[in-house]
Structure 1
Amino acid sequence: MPNNPYDEIFKSLAKILGEMTAEGGEPPRIIGCTIIAGGGAPHREEEMPEDDDGIDYEVVEGEDCVYVTAEVPPEAEVAAEFGPREVTLTVGDATETIDLEADIDGEGSSYSVNNGILDVVCRKAGKTA
């Protein structure tokens, strides 16, 4: 029976956690990680085709939030604007409006860029943190 492709990742994380919690343990050596937890399997939207000149992104819908992730070039100007049922990403000169299937709380939503990855968290309207 073939191994689950995530087995190696979980083994590595278990090893790192064991080293961190051991007496005189090493400091963590994880630079960036996003873990999205929620009930059930998230809804995934297909990534845009590579021949399109827009922004390549992935959308994952959870119970309380809609998550958008995109790879961005280093030092690019990045922004995200939240509408009632959409988020507009701007990366350099490229702009992409993503229609969402849920109403969004623009004030409770946020975005960040770390190590060339744009993470957008669109909090669903009526959901609290």
Structure 2
Amino acid sequence: MPNNPNDDIYQNIARIMEQLLRSLPESEHGPIIGVTIIAGGRQQETESQGEERVPYELVESGEKVYITATIPTETRSAPYVDIQPAQVKLVMDDQVTAVDLPVPIDVQHSFYQVRHGVIDVICHKKPVDSAQTVI
């Protein structure tokens, strides 16, 4: 699969952001909540199928799979995520969106955060066990 031509741009932006954040005086880090720039990897977006699915974005990188979804403003209860080895379920009120993962993941080291109206799921890929490789 060919690389996205924008990958270089994103990597350059990420380096610039890192340099800018490092050069700020310690007392001026307050207004910056966080920055995530994922360069490279494979990206997928869902197509909503009625109101039963929550739109999300999935990005696969070398060692991780990232899933990001916006929490609808009308959500009544706290959203949560059910992480399984081959699937992640995004649960918001009565809406459950199943995300089939492109690779098996290490559930124990995977986690999610809910902040500022966004769910971020970080799934660590299962390491390839060389002892199980058949030649």
Give SS of 2:24's match.
Answer: helix
Query: 1:20: which partner in 2?
Result: 24
TM-score, normalising length from structure 1? Answer: 0.71
Q: Say if 1:76 and 1:16 are closer, same or farther in 2 by CA, change over 3 A.
A: farther
RMSD: 3.2
Name the SS for the 1:101 alignment partner: coil
- Cα distance between partner residues in 2 of 1:32 and 1:45: 23
Q: Secondary structure at the match of 1:119?
A: strand
Give the alignment of 1:1-129 within 5 angstroms: 13=17, 17=21, 20-21=24-25, 26-36=28-38, 41-49=40-48, 51-73=50-72, 76-126=77-127
Amino acid in structure 1 at the alignment position of 2:92? V
Deviates more, 1:118-127 or 1:87-96: 118-127
- The alignment-based identity, stated in percent, is 31
CA offsets 1:90-125 (integer angstroms, 9 cap, x no match): 111100111111011111110010101100011111
CA shift, 1:18, in A, is: 7.8
Cα distance per residue 1:9-61 (max 9 Å; x no partner): x5x9589648723xx86343112322336xxx210112323754311100000
Q: Unaligned stretches of 5+ in structure 2?
A: 1-5, 129-135
- The aligned length equals 116
Counterparts in 2 of 1:94 and 1:27: CA distance versus 1, 3 Å: same
List runs of 5+ in structure 1 lacking aligned partners: none
Counterparts of 2:110 and 2:18 in 1: how far apart (Å)?
A: 32
- Counterparts in 2 of 1:113 and 1:17: CA distance versus 1, 3 Å: same
TM-score (normalizing by structure 2): 0.68
